[in-house]
Structures are given as C-alpha cells and as structure tokens.
Amino acid sequence: MHGVKEKAERFAQTAGDQGEKAADKTKDVASSVVGAIKDTLQEVGSGAAEMANKAAGQVADTTKEWIGAAEECAANTVRTVRNVASDATGRVGDWSQDLAGVIRRNPIPAACVAVGIGFLAAAACRQRSST
C-alpha cells in the first residue's frame, strides 16, 4: 500500500506541476491577448483622433470659404445699392429741375394744378375720417 501512496503522491505532484505550467501558459496567453487588445484600441483611438482632426480642418476650411463668399456678396450688394441710390438721386434732381422750369414758364396753370391737388387731398382725407 505504501507503493500506491507514493505513486499517488507522484501523480499529484506531476498533476500539480502540469497545472502550474498550464496556469502560467494561460497567464501568458491572456497577457498577450490583453496586449493585442490594447494595441488595437490605441490604433483605433489614434485613427479616430486623426479622422476627427481632418474633419475639423475640413469644417474650418468650408467655414472660411462660406465667410468669404458672404463677404463678397455683401460687398456686391452695397455697391449695387449705392449705384441705385446715386441714380435715383440724379433722376429726382433732374425731375425737380424740369418741374421748376415748367412752373417758371407757366406760373398760373401751375398754381391752379396745386390748388386742385390740394382740394383732392382734402376730400380724400375727409372721406377717410367719416368712414
């Protein structure tokens, strides 16, 4: 019986050694898997950061282009409005000079027209206030 006990102890010792080797091997494999996962996550993270930086750069470039286009449009609008205002001012000045010339040449008919316009304006005002 003593021989069986020794065999069992040797078997247990061998099994323990094998278990330790398996545990060490499992630990090494787990460590390498964790390392590979860390490397992959770092690559994904740096790739995502790089993509975000590129996107931010593209957004900034597009924004600058839009701002430039808006400034150009505003400048064109200002020039157009100034030109139209200048033309209108010139035309009003021409019309007023023409009207003054007509009044100087025909003062009595001009006064009659003015009285007629005044009468029509008064009648229109009186009609509005009564309704």
Rg (CA), the chain: 49
Q: What is the pTM of this model?
A: 0.43
Q: How far apart are CA 42 and CA 51, in angstroms?
A: 14
Q: What is the pLDDT of residues 7-58, one digit of tens each?
A: 666 766 776 677 677 677 777 777 787 777 888 778 877 877 888 888 888 8
Domain of residue 76, residue span: 2-106
Q: Is residue 121 part of a domain?
A: no
Q: Is residue 116 part of a domain?
A: no
State the pLDDT at residue 80.
92
In sequence order, the 6+-apart residues with CB closer than 8 A to the CB of 103 are 110
| Count of domains forming the chain | 1
